[in-house]
Structure 1
Amino acid sequence: MRLISFSMTEPQILDRSKTVTRRTGWRHAKAGDLLRGVHKCMGFKPGEKPRTLATVRVVEVRRERLDAITDQDVAREGYPGQSADWFVAKFCQAMRCTPETEVARIEFEYVDEGEGGGAR
């Protein structure tokens, strides 16, 4: 099962308020994929392993410009009450990109233990 890092939104994954994520790259993702959400995917010390936060199933993937995000989707990203402009600025700073950058908008649902089976 492929790993997906939620280091910047761990609390939102743990409380299951996040149901959409935007990623640069991720051209391989498709509906039905199971992903293991982890705190981080890189930068481990010897012997350290990824800490699982949740298993999610991809519902929909589409490519769009980052600045096409709506306030409603900002809430689904785990930031209710924040604006689209706020999210775009935060994303661009973290990912070193521009508002015009094409990103993968990945919508997902949470899979309870035993529901999703093994890796696909």
Structure 2
Amino acid sequence: MILFKPEHVEPILSGCKTQTRRLGKKRWKVGSVHQCRLSYRMEPFAYVRVTAVRRERLGNITDDDARREGYLSVEAYREAFERIYGFWDPDVDVWVVDFELVRQS
């Protein structure tokens, strides 16, 4: 299962959001299929297949990556990251998870 914010539902379902950056431990394997949910108690809104996983510095995000995250620019992504996580540290390591939509629920 991968949790997302409500603002990410439409971009995932439309195929615009195909990447997510996460803090913490690696919990995804290439080829695995995960439910996309807004909370643990809610039903999944989609299923995605992980196509790549890598570790990188948060500050290494490019405009192309930001678009894969569902945002127009790195600055727009940074604002969303700060809203979600409460900080922006370009030196922090994050997991970059690339995925493709398998099906909507």
Q: Normalising by structure 1, what TM-score?
A: 0.75
Q: Which residue of 2 aligns with 1:86?
A: 76
Q: Which residue of 1 aligns with 2:21?
A: 22
**8 Å CA contact retained: 1:66, 1:88:** no
Q: Which residue of 2 aligns with 1:74?
A: 66
| Larger Rg over CA atoms | 1
Deviations 1:20-74 (A, max 9, x none): 0111124131201111001223xxxxxxx32211101100000001110100111
Q: Which residue of 2 aligns with 1:5?
A: 3
Count residues in correspondence: 102
Alignment of 1:106 with 2:101, yes or no, is: no
Supply the distance in 2 between the matched residues of 1:90 and 1:38 (Cα, whole angstroms).
18
Q: Which residue of 2 aligns with 1:117?
A: none
Q: What are structure 2's unaligned runs of at least 5 residues?
A: none
State the SS of the aligned residue for 2:70: coil
Q: CA deviation at 1:100?
A: 1.4
**8 Å CA contact retained: 1:61, 1:104:** yes
Q: CA RMSD in A?
A: 1.8
Structure with bigger helix share is: 2
After TM superposition, which residue ranges in structure 1, 4 or more long, deviate above 4 angstroms?
none
Supply the distance in 2 between the matched residues of 1:93 and 1:100 (Cα, whole angstroms).
18
Q: Percent identity?
A: 36
Q: Summarize the Cα distance change of 1:28–1:39 in structure 2 as closer, same or farther, 3 Å threshold.
A: closer
Q: Which residue of 2 aligns with 1:60?
A: 52
Supply the distance in 2 between the matched residues of 1:16 and 1:34 (Cα, whole angstroms).
16
Q: Normalising by structure 2, what TM-score?
A: 0.84
